[in-house]
Amino acid sequence: QEEYDRRVDALPQYGEGATKASEIFRAATKLYYDFWNNGMVNNTSGAVNFLLYAGVFTSEQDQDFAVIHPYTIGLKIYLNEIELRCTMERMLDRTIAFLLANHELDALPNDMDYLEFSQQSEMNNLDRCTMRNIHFLKMKENAAAASVALVAATSADEAEASLMRTHSSKAQDCTMKKKKKGKKKRVPSAKNLANIMTGINRITISKK
């Protein structure tokens, strides 16, 4: 971080860097800035191509170069892909490591501008912005629709659960009523009671 801050402070406010190291670092920070602040909607092909020319990237087949380059000319639209985010961080780290390993570049006067390495963009920045906005608008709409669907599903589940609780409560009420009713006690009629008493008297007399 200290090395990054030191080199940022040494960058010119406008125009090319005073040394070759400064111009290399300027190209790297241009890519980094456009990524984080503009979503790669500008033509920054000059910066990535200059890093290739300077030796930060080893070849066009270099994995980091191959990831970044299509976005700089509009062949790809940045839509929050994690891969590009990680690659940008690695690109900046590689640039600083390259400059530390080639410290003589800090003493060599610069006679180049990374913009000289720019190539024609496949899509202008306005179209890139439009496509990004459409994409994120659709994402927002999909998220809102998913939220509504979730609320509806939750409401349906709650309604079903409430209905189940109502049915269960009614079933319990019916069971309790049946238990309270039980079996009716048989109360002997007057005639039956008289017969019973007569039988008891007969048993008593016979015993005597």
Q: Which of 91, 90, 9 is nearest to 54 (CA)?
A: 91
Torsion of CA 21, 26, 31, 35, to 10 degrees: 130
**What is the Cα–Cα distance from 91 to 57, expressed in whole angstroms?**
9
- Higher local confidence (pLDDT), 1 or 26: 26
The pLDDT of 83-97, averaged and rounded, is 96
Q: What is the pLDDT of residues 13-50, one digit of tens each?
A: 889 999 999 999 999 999 999 999 999 999 999 999 99
Q: What is the pLDDT of residues 171-198, one digit of tens each?
A: 666 656 555 555 555 555 555 555 555 5
Residue ranges of the alpha helices (H) in the chain? 2-10, 20-38, 45-54, 63-72, 82-101, 125-181, 190-207
CA angle 78, 12, 85 (to 5 degrees): 20
